[in-house]
A and B are shown apart, each in its own frame.
Chain A
Amino acid sequence: MKGCEAIGEAAIRANCTLFFGYPITPQNEIPEYMSRRLPEVGGTFVQAESEVAASNMLYGAAGAGERVFTSSSSPGISLMQEAVSYMAGSQLPVVIVNIMRAGPGLGGILPSQADYFQATKGGGHGDYRLLVLAPSSVQEAADLVQDAFDLADYYRNPVVILADGLIGQMMEPVEFKEDRQPCKPLPVKDWATTGWKGDGRPRAIVNSLFLDPTLLEHHNEALTAKYDVMARDEVRSAEYFTDEDYDLLVVAYGSVARVCLSAIRQLRTEGKRVALVRPISLYPFPSEVVDRAAKKAGRVLVVELSTGQMIEDVRLAVGKEMPVAFHGRTGGNLVTPDEAREKILAQLAQKEASK
């Protein structure tokens, strides 16, 4: 399956019944797939007038208690940031897929990882956190999308799937497990606006307005307590060769991590000792894993399709004594295995020279 179609099918398998979206390259295969598939399963597809409207439709539908989903690409995700902030403030479970393209501005339509800051550090206004998951294969994209719906429902929080155009356009085999179980217990949505009968639950109000500063502070404290649990329980990462001896740790996520892994595998056959940590959850960032793995190497190389965003979280994780080098490409250019190899070899040489 193509990555975008696998993402769409994964949402259907996760019992998502509603999609609201707006066309933007390079993710149009997702809304197209949903417009075809949702009516087959009794769901609803709406092509909104803008990403602004689509994200607010998401807000309304999530507030009514249904599983909802949208996808877009970088400039469209920027337009959704207002609603994302409101959804975080109102604690609405939604899944948002960003098939990142190169920026800033209209930028280009080729793959990028330049929306890391936007996804993990806010994007919209106010104190809030999103769960951010980054797949590095089509299968993983399908798995993470299904998990994302469970996580969103469990935490009552937006979950972002941060992928690049490469994942969206790539074709790989995908397996959907028929007996898949939710990755989290799914709470009853007794807070949703389903019509108030005056008995049983209190009146449902989906809202993020607290004019009383004390009440707003209490609200923010409650959100923070929730984010703390997310940060503790939802860290995900993959490690490669970290249980062996190595002289350099590479940290990369998404499609770039696969490129780096190819280079590392080749280098290991040549006796070069290199390991890789691939963060899967970008928020919460797998700081402890990165720190532990970095200490073993004494030197880190971060590779991204940006001018350096995740590297800030790596630096926070490993502390300022640890040498952390960076290699990034932008504009839609990819890191090739040869390029990764060259940068890794250069770091190994520097380490050797500094002994």
Chain B
Amino acid sequence: MRDSNAFNYPQGLNEVVTHYCPGCTHGIIHRMIAEVLDELGVRERTVGVSPVGCAVLAYNYFSTDYQEASHGRAPAVATGIKRARPDLMVYTYQGDGDLASIGMAEIIHAANRGEKITVVFVNNAIYGMTGGQMAPTTMPGQVTSTSPRGRDIAGAGHPIRMVELISTLRTPAFVARGTVVRPLQAIQTKQLLREAFTHQMEGRCFSMVEILSTCPTNWGMPPAEALTWLEKNMMPYYPLGVFKSPEEGIDRAPAPLCAL
């Protein structure tokens, strides 16, 4: 593949076949991260943290040092790595079950401490690896193997919007949401990733990019249909954009209390 001028593997990726299902968007996101690491020239001092979930084997695909975290704990593991060796670039790669359910405490507090790490949060509204169970991000009415009659908000609540939640914290520097369903959006999302990693590279602060992603296998639809389903059902609820950025000075600090 490296001989081809048309399509080269980024240096940040190993030339191996991934285990991802046909139509899955993890591969695109992996590639974009690897390209950003190459472009920023930081690959040799980057350590990734893989989650428990579909990306559990990410350490086989990226050509950087890697640590495998237990379920949900990637931000705590990344905290340990970064505090031990602040010269490293450290990122976590987490799914929605991992980050928004079992790892909620770890992500919130890593963000709030302002750990100088980057979090790539892949939201496909379902547990993929375990076979399509309901996630905290599953859409109302969405049928999964543990919500066979569709997610009932009366018992399961509404889907959690992580980027919105994190952006209410004062500390984090850069919080954004993109998607990879259309080429133009993928290009924009890569730009978000570049920005997130740049903030870390410049020692600024915590940065996080949520990426809306499809899971054709567990959604039970062909890949092309899954893309349309995401646009129709997820994008209105999970709007794209930059929610917090130091450059723009977006800061949701509360107004001071009146003097008593």
Q: Footprint of B on A, CB under 8 Å?
A: 17-18, 20, 44, 46, 48-50, 52-54, 56-66, 68, 82-83, 86, 90, 193-198, 203-209
Selected from B46, B66, B73, the residue in CB contact (under 8 A) with A206 is: B66
Between-chain CB contacts (< 8 Å), 8 pairs:
A52-B106, A53-B76, A53-B109, A60-B49, A62-B80, A63-B67, A64-B84, A203-B65
Say which one of B56-64, B211-219, B231-239, B241-249 lies at the interface with A: B56-64
Answer whether A205 and B66 are a contact pair too, CB < 8 Å, given A49-B109, A60-B76.
yes
Are B70's CB and A83's CB within 8 A?
yes
Answer whether A53 and B78 are a contact pair too, CB < 8 Å, given A60-B67, A64-B84, A64-B88.
no
Chain B facing A: main interface SS: helix
Are A64's CB and B66's CB within 8 A?
no
Are B106's CB and A56's CB within 8 A?
yes
The residue in A17, A44, A205 that gathers the most chain B C-beta atoms within 10 A of its C-beta is A205
Cα distance A207–B56 in the bound complex, in angstroms: 10
Q: How far is the CB of B87 from chain A (nearest CB, A)?
A: 8
Are A57's CB and B80's CB within 8 A?
yes
Q: How far is the CB of B38 from chain A (nearest CB, A)?
A: 13
Selected from A64, A65, A207, the residue in CB contact (under 8 A) with B59 is: A207
Are B56's CB and A205's CB within 8 A?
no
Are A60's CB and B80's CB within 8 A?
yes
Are A209's CB and B68's CB within 8 A?
yes
Are A64's CB and B68's CB within 8 A?
no
Does B169 have its Cβ within 8 Å of any Cβ on chain A? no
Interface string of B105-147 (1 = CB under 8 A from A): 1101100010000000000000000000000000000000000
Does B54 have its Cβ within 8 Å of any Cβ on chain A? no
Are B68's CB and A60's CB within 8 A?
no
Selected from A56, A195, A203, the residue in CB contact (under 8 A) with B76 is: A56
Are A61's CB and B68's CB within 8 A?
no
Answer whether A90 and B68 are a contact pair too, CB < 8 Å, given A56-B80, A64-B84, A68-B80.
yes
CB-defined contacts of B85 to chain A, threshold 8 Å: 64-66, 194
Does B225 have its Cβ within 8 Å of any Cβ on chain A? no
Answer whether A63 and B44 are a contact pair too, CB < 8 Å, given A203-B63, A206-B67, A209-B56.
no
Does B69 have its Cβ within 8 Å of any Cβ on chain A? yes
Are A63's CB and B56's CB within 8 A?
no
Answer whether A205 and B109 are a contact pair too, CB < 8 Å, given A64-B81, A68-B84, A83-B73.
no
Cα distance A197–B69 in the bound complex, in angstroms: 23
Selected from A56, A66, A208, the residue in CB contact (under 8 A) with B73 is: A56
Q: How far is the CB of A285 from chain B (nearest CB, A)?
A: 29
The residue in B45, B47, B67 that gathers the most chain A C-beta atoms within 10 A of its C-beta is B67
Q: How far is the CB of B3 from chain A (nearest CB, A)?
A: 19
Cα distance A79–B34 in the bound complex, in angstroms: 35
The 6 A-B pairs at the shortest CB distance, nearest first, are namely A60-B80, A56-B76, A61-B80, A193-B65, A60-B77, A57-B80
B interface, size bucket: 20 to 34
Does B158 have its Cβ within 8 Å of any Cβ on chain A? no
11 additional contacts (CB under 8 A) given A56-B77, A57-B83 = A46-B83, A53-B79, A53-B105, A65-B85, A68-B80, A82-B70, A193-B81, A204-B65, A205-B68, A209-B56, A209-B68
Interface string of B173-200 (1 = CB under 8 A from A): 0000000000000000000000000000
CB-defined contacts of A204 to chain B, threshold 8 Å: 65-66
Are B81's CB and A61's CB within 8 A?
yes
Cα distance A86–B84 in the bound complex, in angstroms: 19
CB-defined contacts of B80 to chain A, threshold 8 Å: 18, 20, 56-64, 68
CB-based nearest B residue for A45: B83
CB-defined contacts of A20 to chain B, threshold 8 Å: 80
Q: How far is the CB of A53 from chain B (nearest CB, A)?
A: 4
CB-defined contacts of B106 to chain A, threshold 8 Å: 49, 52-53, 56
Cα distance A56–B78 in the bound complex, in angstroms: 9
Q: How far is the CB of A75 from chain B (nearest CB, A)?
A: 17
CB-defined contacts of A59 to chain B, threshold 8 Å: 67, 69, 73, 76-77, 80
Answer whether A65 and B84 are a contact pair too, CB < 8 Å, given A46-B79, A53-B105, A197-B44.
yes
Selected from A48, A68, A193, the residue in CB contact (under 8 A) with B47 is: A193
Are B81's CB and A86's CB within 8 A?
no
CB-defined contacts of A90 to chain B, threshold 8 Å: 68
CB-based nearest A residue for B68: A207
Answer whether A196 and B109 are a contact pair too, CB < 8 Å, given A60-B81, A64-B47, A83-B73.
no
Are B70's CB and A60's CB within 8 A?
no
Cα distance A209–B68 in the bound complex, in angstroms: 8
Cα distance A90–B88 in the bound complex, in angstroms: 21
Cα distance A54–B73 in the bound complex, in angstroms: 10
Q: How far is the CB of A264 from chain B (nearest CB, A)?
A: 45
CB-based nearest B residue for A191: B65
Cα distance A332–B49 in the bound complex, in angstroms: 41
Q: How far is the CB of A219 from chain B (nearest CB, A)?
A: 13
Selected from A57, A66, A208, the residue in CB contact (under 8 A) with B77 is: A57
The residue in B44, B64, B77, B106 that gathers the most chain A C-beta atoms within 10 A of its C-beta is B77
Cα distance A196–B87 in the bound complex, in angstroms: 13
CB-defined contacts of B82 to chain A, threshold 8 Å: 60
Q: How far is the CB of B95 from chain A (nearest CB, A)?
A: 16
Cα distance A60–B81 in the bound complex, in angstroms: 5
CB-defined contacts of A65 to chain B, threshold 8 Å: 84-85
Cα distance A243–B46 in the bound complex, in angstroms: 59
Are A207's CB and B66's CB within 8 A?
yes
